Amino acid sequence: MFDYKLLAALAAVVEQAGFERAAQVLGLSQSAVSQRIKLLEARVGQPVLMRVSPPVATAVGQRLLNHVQQVRLLERDLQAQVPSLDEGGAPERLRIALNADSLATWWASAVGDFCAEQRLLLEHLVEDQDVGLKRMRAGEVAACLCASERPLAGARAELLGAMRYRALASPDFIRRHFAEGVSAPALARAPAIVFGPDDQLQHRYLAALGQEGGFCHHLCPSSEGFVRLAEAGFGWGLMPELQVQAELGRGSLVELLPQRPVDVPLYWHHWRNGGALLEQLTRHLHRQADKWLVPVVGV
Amino acid sequence: MFDYKLLAALAAVVEQAGFERAAQVLGLSQSAVSQRIKLLEARVGQPVLMRVSPPVATAVGQRLLNHVQQVRLLERDLQAQVPSLDEGGAPERLRIALNADSLATWWASAVGDFCAEQRLLLEHLVEDQDVGLKRMRAGEVAACLCASERPLAGARAELLGAMRYRALASPDFIRRHFAEGVSAPALARAPAIVFGPDDQLQHRYLAALGQEGGFCHHLCPSSEGFVRLAEAGFGWGLMPELQVQAELGRGSLVELLPQRPVDVPLYWHHWRNGGALLEQLTRHLHRQADKWLVPVVGV
């Protein structure tokens, strides 16, 4: 068997984003954590961590973390069957990467009851799809909810449905920028709001209207902040229908081109051998998701 | 004078979090960007970037970025005075680091008019205080809104007021965990919600009630997700009063121990020589902030 004390040290340094916090969590001195990482590297025969801030796992380190994540899920199953194995420590948290808009809208309602019944603690990592899947491949998360349909090796990717987005702006913004009506060229000239460098929704929306190329935009990596900026007249942008019911109701946000929603599919990525809990959560999500998500056309 | 083509390449690689995207933004090939960074390193006589993913500026690289950020702000002033200097490119965005809860609540309302009048585009970076100030020191942002009162060398830190937080949970959660009433020990046993490893609000709240030590908690690095989790009965947590008016109104969240708010002061950090625009934004914020923030007692 591997020496899991060493692997747990590696996992703690990466999860806690540093040696100091890893030491606190493990109840060890920082030099003891360092020592364990060095010992692990001596056994593996190569570095497992790049010593940058925060520390990053090397390729081989990632394979080790991936293994740790899966062993933890299996341990949880075993503990459910053999409760005396429970060491009384803090309960393990299931780490899940998901897109910011799901976390800001339907996710909590969909899994709240499940977590309360199972006494399950969650750690959420807000990541766009590429980083979320990279973290899953690196063994840092047990599952990932994102728009990419391609499963990782050893994992499943299941379609849950789609989030519907609408292009919205404040009435004041519309008066200022679309006095002649909302046309595609006028839209391309008005400032937009974009979540981050990976957010292509606004680009795709303009492209579908025949407007290719760059456009000026604010950047706001916060779902709630995005809606607040739109309401305050910073720019136009695509927002999840689920998130803006109140704003649409009171008229502080207005749809720019009605009947042009954008549907973004959401896939649930999870390890095939992720243990019973992850399987149950997956089944639960399938039962719940269509309360909030729309069906994907053509699937 | 420095060779600003080289410095702009460094800034683009760090701001765009990679060589590929930096090349797109600069309209260069990736190898041309690489070449510029190497040339810069040859001139400086040491590495300016650590080649990890995403690339990280070295200490000397950070000093260069800091300089670039300040030069950009000064250029903007000059352009306002000499409009013919405007090269017609995409307008420069002002990069600002701020705490997630401000962005989710009052920030947009406070600065929306200012940005529309000045035709100013913003790039928001959501960071807790230590990382936000680190980014400011690294020259990656022009200003930082956070709870730390200590100014960086060359910068000012001005108190704007405090955000008021209240400890809340769903009625269902309260029935499940506090059948005997909300006592400090019962609170320490019930699952909490914590924003991230740096969020000590819940810890401090329990400590003030005489409950030291660890407690089980979910982790949720999203302001809106935090409120959604609390509403769905995941746990209790401290939420900005500004953000939960609707939830308190309809009773989906209830205060645990009334009359025990926690006030978190907010300081606006900005460079002393940050140019006229940053000065104006600072004055605007001072005029606006007390519409949303509460006065800090004892100041």
Residues of chain B neighbouring A221 (CB-CB closer than 8 A) = 124-126
A81 & A101 share domain: no
The CATH number linked to A58 is 1.10.10.10
A228 & A243 share domain: yes
Strands (E), chain A: 49-50, 56-57, 93-98, 121-126, 143-146, 155-169, 192-194, 217-219, 237-240, 254-255, 262-271
Instruction: Give exposure, B30-67, as e/b (b: 16+ Cβ within 10 Å).
Output: eeebbebbeebbeebeebbbeeeeebbbeeebbebbbe
Residue B220 contacts A where some CB pair is shorter than 8 Å: yes
Report the C-alpha gap between A62 and A47 in whole angstroms: 11
A66 & A99 share domain: no
A28 & A103 share domain: no
B132 & B266 share domain: yes
A152 & A206 share domain: yes
Q: Which residues contact A42 (CB under 8 A, 6 or more apart)?
A: none
Top residue of A134, A228, A239 to mutate, by most chain B CBs within 10 Å, is A228
Q: Residue A44: its pLDDT value, please?
A: 84
Q: Residue B87: its pLDDT value, please?
A: 53
Question: Cβ–Cβ of A222/B100 closer than 8 Å?
Answer: yes
Run of H or E including B53: none
Residues of chain A neighbouring B113 (CB-CB closer than 8 A) = 232-233
Compute the average pLDDT of residues B191-202.
89
Residues of chain A neighbouring B109 (CB-CB closer than 8 A) = 228, 231-232
A159 & A97 share domain: yes
B70-76: Cβ within 8 A, 24+ apart: B70/B139, B70/B271, B70/B273, B70/B274, B70/B275, B71/B4, B73/B142, B73/B271, B73/B274, B73/B275, B73/B277, B73/B278, B74/B273, B74/B275, B76/B275, B76/B277
B80 & B182 share domain: no
Last residue of a domain, one of B90, B116, B140: B90
- Retrieve residue A211's tokens: 């407007």
pLDDT digits (tens, 9 = 90+) for B84-132: 555 555 556 788 999 999 999 999 999 999 999 888 889 999 987 778 8
Q: CA nearest B214 in A: which residue? A: A90
pLDDT digits (tens, 9 = 90+) for A134-177: 888 877 788 999 999 999 988 999 999 999 999 999 999 999 99
Mark which residues 95-154 of B lie under 8 Å from A by CB: 100, 103-105, 107-109, 111-113, 115-116, 121-126
Give B285's pLDDT tier (boundaries 50, 70, 90): very high
Q: CA nearest A91 in B: which residue? A: B216
B77 & B143 share domain: no
- Domain hosting B65: range is 1-90
What ipTM score was computed for the predicted complex, to two decimals? 0.75
Mark which residues 14-33 of B lie under 8 Å from A by CB: 16-17, 21
Q: Name residues of chain A where pLDDT drops below 70.
A: 1, 76-92, 298-299
Q: In chain B, how long is the greatest CA-to-CA distance? A: 72
Last residue of a domain, one of A63, A90, A117: A90
Residue A177 contacts B where some CB pair is shorter than 8 Å: no
Distance of residue A116 Cα from the nearest chain B Cα, in angstroms: 7
Last residue of a domain, one of B57, B90, B123: B90
| Strands A217-219 vs A192-194: parallel, antiparallel or unpaired | parallel
B211 & B280 share domain: yes
Q: Residue A235: its pLDDT value, please?
A: 96
Question: Cβ–Cβ of A224/B116 closer than 8 Å?
Answer: no
B149 & B241 share domain: yes
How many CB atoms neighbour CB B235 within 10 A? 27
Comparing B215 with A93, which gets the higher pLDDT?
B215
**Residue bearing tokens 């062993």:** A71
Note if the bond before B151 is cis, omega within 30 degrees: no
Question: Cβ–Cβ of A112/B234 closer than 8 Å?
Answer: yes
CB-count burial class (<10 Å; 0-12, 13-18, 19+) for A215:
middle
Residues of chain B neighbouring A226 (CB-CB closer than 8 A) = none
Q: Nearest to residue A19, comparing CAs of A35, A30, A32, A6? A: A30
Total domain count, chain B: 2
Q: Cβ distance B206 to B256 under 8 Å?
A: no
Q: Residue A80: its pLDDT value, please?
A: 63
Compute the average pLDDT of residues B27-31.
89
Residues of chain A neighbouring B218 (CB-CB closer than 8 A) = 93, 115, 121-124
Q: Cβ distance A129 to A123 under 8 Å?
A: no
Mark which residues 51-80 of A lie under 8 Å from B by CB: 52-53, 56
Point out the residue among A107, A197, A218 whose CB comes nearest to the CB of B121: A218
Instruction: Give exposure, A34-60, as e/b (b: 16+ Cβ within 10 Å).
Output: bebbeebbeebeebbbeeeeebbbeee
B105 & B205 share domain: yes
The CATH number linked to B193 is 3.40.190.290
